[in-house]
């Protein structure tokens, strides 16, 4: 089971809420408010690592995405339609895992 985290959804003209940053351990599930949106995944890492974003089972779903996360701050843009889970206990969420416990992540939905 993945840890549940909150994400931040940006809307035009609305103030930006403080985004929750979580440590990636056995897996973190970020809920996303709507399908077919895009998001920015922000990483803060004390050492280089690999992050894994689980794909989904839909026709247009993606395979698991493996991302190199360097030490420091880095960013990744995601098409959530490929990675938002469509079934199971993490339905409606994006699941992110990491090879190193020194990595923190924040998911910000862009549209």
Which domains are present in the chain? 21-109 (2.60.290)
Residue 35 has what pLDDT? Answer: 67
Residue 40 to residues 16, 53, 72, Cα–Cα distance (Å): 14, 13, 16
- Residues ≥6 apart with Cβ < 8 Å to 109: 7, 8, 9, 10, 32, 33, 34, 37, 38, 39, 80
Mean pLDDT by 10 residues, the chain (111 residues): 48 53 77 76 89 78 84 88 83 86 83 66
Residue 1 has what pLDDT? Answer: 41
Residue 68 has what pLDDT? Answer: 92
Residue 11 has what pLDDT? Answer: 54
Structure token digits, residue 56? 């989904």
């Amino acid at each position: 089971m993945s840890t549940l985290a909150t994400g931040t959804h940006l809307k035009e003209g609305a103030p930006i809420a403080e985004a929750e940053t979580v440590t990636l351990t056995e897996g973190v599930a970020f809920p996303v408010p709507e399908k077919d949106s895009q998001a920015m995944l922000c990483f803060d890492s004390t050492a280089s690592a690999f992050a894994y974003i689980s794909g989904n089972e839909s026709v247009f779903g993606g395979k698991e995405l493996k991302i190199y996360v360097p030490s420091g701050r880095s960013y990744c843009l995601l098409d959530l339609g490929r990675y938002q889970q469509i079934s199971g206990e993490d339905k409606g969420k994006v699941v992110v895992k990491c090879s190193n416990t020194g990595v923190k992540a924040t998911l910000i939905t862009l549209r």
